[in-house]
Structure 1
Amino acid sequence: MLDELGIKPVAIAGSSIGSIIGVGMASGMTGKEIHEYMAAIFNRRSEVAKRMWQTRPAHWAELLKGATRQPVQYRKGAGRLLPAGLPANVEELKIPMSITAADFHAAREIHICDGDLHSAIAASCAIPPVFAPVRRNGRILVDGGLFNPVPFDLLFDEADIVIGIDVVGTPVGPDDYMPTTFEAVIGANQLTMCSIIENKFRIRPPHIFIRPDVERIGLLDFLKFEQILSQSASVRDELKRAIELAVEGVMPLNSTLAT
């Protein structure tokens, strides 16, 4: 969309899956190139996705005792999942990028703007209990979404128009469906993230906020990005017009677009 309008971001911030997409854009890839790359990767990685699913903890007691089966070491596979040709360090990206993660022991949000790129993405995507925590610069880091799922607030001092995109969604299943232990843990993460986003929105919303209809797509549905794009299609023209008006300075700020 930004490519079609001839707009290049001056800064990008991302958490979890947003860090992956954001790095692609910050490296100079077009939206079309990112789409094509993601399609190719996920089509080839279906078996890997199945194996990641098999690493889920079987019982709540295992989580409490720290005796779960070994979580996926995302950092080891990050190099194979990311596009070739990315720079080694965050500060070498073509567009300034802030990748969020959570410092496990200090209980605080951190913003990674320099240093090793692969470990930064791995840390931001380390969703408990699916992906193992990442040790980086002497700190233990986990999923950035636990503190800041949509870090649009990091961009207010960097850009005239800030666009936030929320694809967190909500737990999957009918209202009377009883989730498994693993589904409950992941769903609880989603609910927490939704609450964080809502509170941030009350304090200071972005100029344009996009929330595609992903309510029935799970947090770990890696292979459904085509469905997400399809369900987001209805907001495409509306978003394009909103950006055009915002650039022209004739659009009221803080507009929310939802499919």
Structure 2
Amino acid sequence: MKKIGLALGAGGARGLAHIVLIEALEELEIQPTIIAGSSIGAIVGAFYAAGFKTDEMKHILHQIIHGTKSKFWEIHKKSDFIKYFDLLDPTIKIGGLLKGDKLANFLSTQLKINDFNKLQIPLKVVATDYFSKNQVVLDKGDLISAVRASYALPFLFSPVKREKKLLVDGGMVNPLPYDILFNDCDLTIAVDVSASNGARTKLDIPPAYEVFFSAFQIMQGSIINEKTKNIAPDIHIRTNIEDVRVHEFMKADTILESARPYKTELKKKLTKLLSL
């Protein structure tokens, strides 16, 4: 059997689609040899590498989104992005609007693992060195701080100090990190969740936060397009989850359902490549 590397890309809430794509591997009884993740891809990748099945991931997600005692439940009917700040740990400080402690603590509590060496599947997490502007690949030591660095979107989340570096969101330099897996596997699968939200029907001016997020994702899409021109993964699944903005995790059910055709696509491509 070929060694398979799985790369889970950046893309905010649309990255929940990664869970459905992982289902394809489960149904084919395939386990990757190694995983790489950037931003939301690092979060989902950490759960997968820790041994969580997709049903378990969905259960945790359902409890977060729909649980009557959850912060998401309290803000369910509030559409303004600012209302989400309390969940994410708001602060007015140098570095970012959000400290990110609550999310990091949640990950630590759920994963119950805080060391790369204790993962069931090797994991590589991508972050960006703020000062050198270079990619940093984290695969040893403290797991939670690595994942936290990978989703530390500048201005929104505070940067993470680690290994004498100041680290921010990995999606700035490598939003689809399949290339860091080439030396560790025979076949690479890249799940790209950076696709466009779809065209607007009116030329209305969106809120400032939406412009910021959209600009960031335009940049990520350009990076991925240029990279795949030079060297492509063996399987590139590019999802197109429409009408879901980067922060709209409340649309989890819609995202998971919209990802199902791409799960079928991945299963077909894997079956053909591996002659299953």
**Shorter-normalised TM range:** 0.7 to 0.9
Match of 2:30 in 1: 7
Secondary structure of the residue that 1:157 maps to in structure 2? helix
Query: 1:171 deviation in Å?
Result: 5.5
Match of 1:196 in 2: 223
Match of 2:61 in 1: 38
Secondary structure of the residue that 2:128 maps to in structure 1? strand
The answer on whether the counterparts of 1:102 and 1:110 sit within 8 Å (CA) in structure 2 is: yes
Query: 1:147 deviation in Å?
Result: 0.5
Q: Which of 190, 193, 201 matches 1:164?
A: 190
Question: What is the CA–CA distance in structure 1 between the aligned matches of 2:84 and 2:181, rounded to whole Å?
Answer: 35
| 1:53 maps onto 2:76 in alignment | no
Match of 1:96 in 2: 122
Question: What is the CA–CA distance in structure 2 between the aligned matches of 1:111 and 1:48, rounded to whole Å?
Answer: 35
Match of 1:107 in 2: 133
Alpha-carbon spacing, 1:85–1:233, altered in 2? closer, same or farther (3 Å): closer
Structure 2, unaligned runs of 5 or more: 1-23, 86-91
Give the TM-score normalised by the residue count of structure 1: 0.83
Secondary structure of the residue that 1:102 maps to in structure 2? strand
Q: Which of 23, 28, 45 matches 2:46?
A: 23
Q: Which of 145, 150, 157 matches 1:124?
A: 150
Alpha-carbon spacing, 1:192–1:55, altered in 2? closer, same or farther (3 Å): farther
The answer on whether the counterparts of 2:35 and 2:121 sit within 8 Å (CA) in structure 1 is: yes
Q: State the one-letter code of the partner of 1:34.
A: M
| More contact order relative to length (CA 8 Å, sep ≥ 6) | 2
| 1:136 maps onto 2:162 in alignment | yes
Alpha-carbon spacing, 1:203–1:69, altered in 2? closer, same or farther (3 Å): closer
Q: State the one-letter code of the partner of 2:30.
A: I
Match of 1:181 in 2: 208
The answer on whether the counterparts of 2:107 and 2:144 sit within 8 Å (CA) in structure 1 is: no
Alpha-carbon spacing, 1:211–1:105, altered in 2? closer, same or farther (3 Å): same
Alpha-carbon spacing, 1:248–1:105, altered in 2? closer, same or farther (3 Å): same
Give the TM-score normalised by the residue count of structure 2: 0.78
Query: 1:175 deviation in Å?
Result: 5.4
Q: Which of 231, 237, 257 matches 1:210?
A: 237
Counterparts of residues 201-240 of structure 1 (less than 5 Å): 201-240=228-267
Q: Which runs of 4+ in 1 moved over 4 A?
A: 47-52, 66-70
Q: State the one-letter code of the partner of 1:229.
A: L
Alpha-carbon spacing, 1:85–1:101, altered in 2? closer, same or farther (3 Å): closer
| 1:246 maps onto 2:273 in alignment | yes
Secondary structure of the residue that 1:170 maps to in structure 2? coil
The answer on whether the counterparts of 2:108 and 2:114 sit within 8 Å (CA) in structure 1 is: no
Secondary structure of the residue that 1:162 maps to in structure 2? strand
Deviation per CA, 1:20-45: give whole Å up to 9, x if none: 11011101111222222222223334
Match of 2:105 in 1: 79
Bigger strand fraction: 2
Q: State the one-letter code of the partner of 2:164.
A: G
Secondary structure of the residue that 2:237 maps to in structure 1? strand
Alpha-carbon spacing, 1:22–1:52, altered in 2? closer, same or farther (3 Å): farther
Secondary structure of the residue that 1:179 maps to in structure 2? coil
Percent of residue pairs bearing the same amino acid type? 32
Alpha-carbon spacing, 1:41–1:81, altered in 2? closer, same or farther (3 Å): farther
The answer on whether the counterparts of 2:127 and 2:168 sit within 8 Å (CA) in structure 1 is: yes
Deviation per CA, 1:191-249: give whole Å up to 9, x if none: 00000010111011111111122243112222222211111112332321211111128
The answer on whether the counterparts of 2:47 and 2:111 sit within 8 Å (CA) in structure 1 is: no
Alpha-carbon spacing, 1:12–1:126, altered in 2? closer, same or farther (3 Å): same
The answer on whether the counterparts of 1:169 and 1:217 sit within 8 Å (CA) in structure 2 is: no
Query: 1:85 deviation in Å?
Result: 4.4
Q: State the one-letter code of the partner of 1:143.
A: D
